[in-house]
Amino acid sequence: MVQWAFDGLLGLTLIWLAWRALASPDLFRAIVLFISFGLVMALAWVRLGGIDIALAEAAIGAGLTGALLLAAQARLEK
Amino acid sequence: MQPLCFSLALFLLMNLCVGMWRVLRGPTPADRMLAGQLFGTTAVAVLLLLAEAGGNDAVRDVALLFALLAAVTAVAFVRRAWRDPEADHATD
Amino acid sequence: MPLTDLFAAVLLLGGGFFFLAGTVGLLRFPDVYTRLHALTKADNVGLGLMVAGLALKAESWPVAGKLLLIWLLVLVAGASVAHLVAVAARQRGVKMWKR
């Protein structure tokens, strides 16, 4: 029962985050939402049993891409 | 032990969802970034609980990776993305 | 053995309480500096209590050591991020909250 609730909330959060990140007019907010999306996506991969993909998602999605996008946004504003 | 771990993981996930409000409407960029930092810590806790409940040791490695990379994004934010008005005047 | 279980459960619940306190602080505190205070302290204590509870239940010493290592890494990251963001906010003239 609790596992179902956990998985359901995880999926809903994932979809909601993806939608907000795409629809956000403010670029910086979209980047922070994208980083949060990477975190929740890694949790979802763990629940699905893909630990290796969760590792890759944690390293690339939450760590590297976030920093790269922030640097790119700083260049855009100049 | 397993039901307790899953209940706590669900509770922490709810915390994360509520904290999203600050990302959406933090007045300064720092507020949004701090909420992201909170999500990182919460995700580490959720992963550790899932590792205990699911009995898979490799999940702890994912938590370790999150802990390692937690600072990278915030440092990139402070050094690059948050525009400093005085520094802008200096380069003008 | 049940005593260990009880102790671990109490520690885990305490950790959950501190996470709740951190989230409430993030939502309710008035400016960047106070939010920084709520976040980086309450959350790291919460994670520490959870790590202690899980380490009590850990099946071997290496697992407990890995849990401790994760907590120390999060502590280092949290402390440095709090300092960096506070200094940056002060440089950029973010106003402090006054009653």
Q: Which pLDDT band holds residue C51 (cuts at 50, 70, 90)?
A: very high
Is residue C99 scored above 80 in pLDDT? no
- Tokens encoding A61: 């999605």
Residue type, A50: G
- Quick: pLDDT tens for C84-96: 888 888 888 777 7
Tell me how many helices (H) and strands (E) chain C has: 4, 0
Cβ-Cβ contacts under 8 Å for A75 (sequence gap 6 or more): none
- Quick: pLDDT tens for A62-75: 778 988 998 888 88
Best of B65, B68, B72, B88 to substitute, by most chain A Cβ atoms within 10 angstroms, is B65
pLDDT value of position C96: 77
Residue with tokens 């701090």: B34
Is residue B66 scored above 80 in pLDDT? yes
Measured CA to CA, the distance from residue C51 to residue C11 in angstroms comes to: 9
Average pLDDT over every residue of B12-27: 87
Chain C CB within 8 Å of residue B62 CB: no
Chain B CB within 8 Å of residue C15 CB: yes
Residue type, B9: A
Average pLDDT over every residue of C2-20: 89
pLDDT value of position B45: 92
Measured CA to CA, the distance from residue B2 to residue B24 in angstroms comes to: 34
Q: Which pLDDT band holds residue B24 (cuts at 50, 70, 90)?
A: confident
The SS3 call for residue C99 is coil
Identity of the highest mean pLDDT range in A58-62, B14-18, B21-25, C39-43: B14-18
- Subunit contact C32:B33, Cβ cutoff 8 A: no
Element (H, E) at C35: helix C32-37
- Subunit contact C19:B45, Cβ cutoff 8 A: yes
pLDDT value of position C16: 92
Nearest to B41 among C12, C36, C74 (CB): C74
Measured CA to CA, the distance from residue C43 to residue B19 in angstroms comes to: 13
* Domain boundary assignment for chain B: 2-91
Q: Of all residues in chain C, what percent carry a pLDDT higher than 90?
A: 29
- Cβ pair C79, C40 in contact under 8 A: yes
Average pLDDT over every residue of C44-55: 91
Burial class (CB in 10 A: 0-12, 13-18, 19+), A55: buried
Is residue B34 scored above 60 in pLDDT? yes
**CA atoms B22, C36, B77, B29: torsion sign:** positive
Is residue B90 scored above 50 in pLDDT? no
* Domain boundary assignment for chain C: 2-91
DSSP character at residue C74: H
SS3 track for B18-78: HHHHHHHHCCCHHHHHHHHHHHHHHHHHHHHHHHHHHCCCHHHHHHHHHHHHHHHHHHHHH
- Subunit contact B74:C84, Cβ cutoff 8 A: yes
pLDDT value of position B91: 42
Q: Mean pLDDT per segment of 10 residues, for chain A of length 78 residues? A: 88 93 89 90 90 90 86 83
Q: Phi and psi of B65, rounded to 5°? A: -65, -40
- Tokens encoding C27: 């939502």
Nearest to B78 among C16, C76, C84 (CB): C84
